Amino acid sequence: GQQLNQSPQSMFIQEGEDVSMNCTSSSIFNTWLWYKQDPGEGPVLLIALYKAGELTSNGRLTAQFGITRKDSFLNISASIPSDVGIYFCAGPGGGAGGTSYGKLTFGQGTILTVHP
C-alpha cells in the first residue's frame, strides 16, 4: 500500500527560528494535505495543495506540492510557542472500494518543540 515518510521525526528549535519539514511518498498523489495535532485533540487542517508545483501560504505557514507529485514541504516562519505539536502530511488513497475522495493516508508525523 501507499506509504508516506516524514522527516525529520522531531525538531527542537528556539522561538523565532524558521522550520522546514517534508514528506515523501512511494506513489504519486493528486492532493497533499498538512495537519497539526495538539495533545488530546484531533488533527486540524492547515493547508491543502491540489496542483504539482503549487505554493500555498496560510499566515506564517507555507507548503509546496512537489513537481514529481511524490513529495511535499511545509515551512513555518518565525516560530512561536503555540506552534508546538505534531505535524502530519496526508494524501488520498488509504482504502479500497468506493470513490477515492477523502480516504487519507498519513505520515508518521514530525514532532515540533519550540523553546521560548
Partner 1 sequence: ETGVTQSPTHLIKTRGQQVTLRCSSQSGHNTVSWYQQALGQGPQFIFQYYREEENGRGNFPPRFSGLQFPNYSSELNVNALELDDSALYLCASSSQGDEQYFGPGTRLTVT
> Which residues of the chain form contacts with partner 1 (CB under 8 A)?
1, 4, 31, 33, 35, 40-45, 48, 88, 90-92, 94-109
Let me know: does 58 contact 46? Beta carbons within 8 Å: yes
Radius of gyration of the CA atoms of the chain, in A: 14
**C-beta of 87: minimal distance to partner 1 in Å?**
10
Say which residues have a Cβ less than 8 Å from residue 58's Cβ, sequence separation at least 6: 46, 47
Let me know: does 101 contact 90? Beta carbons within 8 Å: no
What is the rounded CA–CA span in Å between residue 72 and residue 70? Answer: 7
- Nearer to partner 1 by C-beta: 64 or 110? 110
**C-beta of 108: minimal distance to partner 1 in Å?**
5
**C-beta of 4: minimal distance to partner 1 in Å?**
8
**C-beta of 115: minimal distance to partner 1 in Å?**
22
- Nearer to partner 1 by C-beta: 43 or 114? 43
- Nearer to partner 1 by C-beta: 2 or 68? 2
- Nearer to partner 1 by C-beta: 77 or 84? 84
How crowded is residue 103: how many other Cβ atoms within 10 Å of its Cβ? 14
